[in-house]
Structure 1
Amino acid sequence: MTMLRDATGAAHEQVDAAFGAHHLAAPAAYRAFLLAHARALPVAEAAMAALPFAATLPPRTPLLAADLADLGAALPAPLPFAPGEDAASRWGVLYVVEGSRLGGALLARQVPAGTPCRYLGAVHAPGQWRAVRAALDEAAAGQDADWTGRMIAGALATFALYAAAARDD
């Protein structure tokens, strides 16, 4: 887990900076923020869905779609995303997608009361982030450098997907 955080820190900071420019208290900026996420999240969740562990995690795409519908928008076409078809790459995707729930909880505080906020409010259940971290560590345990490299590449591809979605908004 630490290895992933260290290897992807710069990419994570770029995505945070890109999305941090949105003032979520402003309705138009919040809608643009959700639309950008909607160009990335559905394909990222689909990529990680092949991992059996992913079935233990509630998807957020339906929540994002519901928030957008309440704001008068539909899910946009997703961006192309090809992180790799192997388990290592998919674990990297899962790391980014599930880690984004932590940031979502902080961002949800900026959304005005009465504004649809199911997506950002979809935090981990008690102990769930700990379980995600343990599953990531278990998956990587005993793997060679090639496997670890593919996991990092999957995470970096996911951060790049979100960065592209932020630029496209």
Structure 2
Amino acid sequence: MGNAVVRPYQDADLEGAAAALVAVHATDGYPVEGVTDPEAWIRSADVRAAWVGDLDGKIVGHVSVMRPRGEDAVTLWVEQSGDDERHVAVLARLFVLQEARQHALGAQLMQAATSWAQEQGIRLVLDVMAKDAAAIRLYQRLGWTKIGEAAHPYGEGQLMDAICFVAPAA
């Protein structure tokens, strides 16, 4: 396998993206929610734009830009920057199959989302579970800045420590 591309998500990608999500959850424990109905999680009505990583015709990764829904990262950024929430979106649902990670698709997916957001005049934020050290290293390497910490709610009243980041300025 060797021909890796990042391209805009299409409806025909849903089944492959859902299968990749379930596989990533099995290897990495990410995400902490969404795997009981991966197709609904990926095609959420809050998605503004999305991209997939395609390796030799197989969907091996995904990322979305989401409308804010009260996330701690959004609140922290609005408080710290004075920006209006209408100019903020959430980078979310980023995952890449373990066997495809040597192709730098995580960074490419993030760059696609970041470029789109900059064209829209939107600043991206995200939260990442503190346990996901590889993801945190990726965000830092790409110039994202830590803006705070939060407790990410999931499941039935469960909480997990999370770190909030903001994308580099355009």
Q: Which structure exhibits the higher relative contact order, with contacts defined as CA atoms closer than 8 Å and separated by 6 or more residues?
A: 1
TM-score (structure 2 length as normaliser): 0.30
Q: Which has the higher helix share?
A: 1
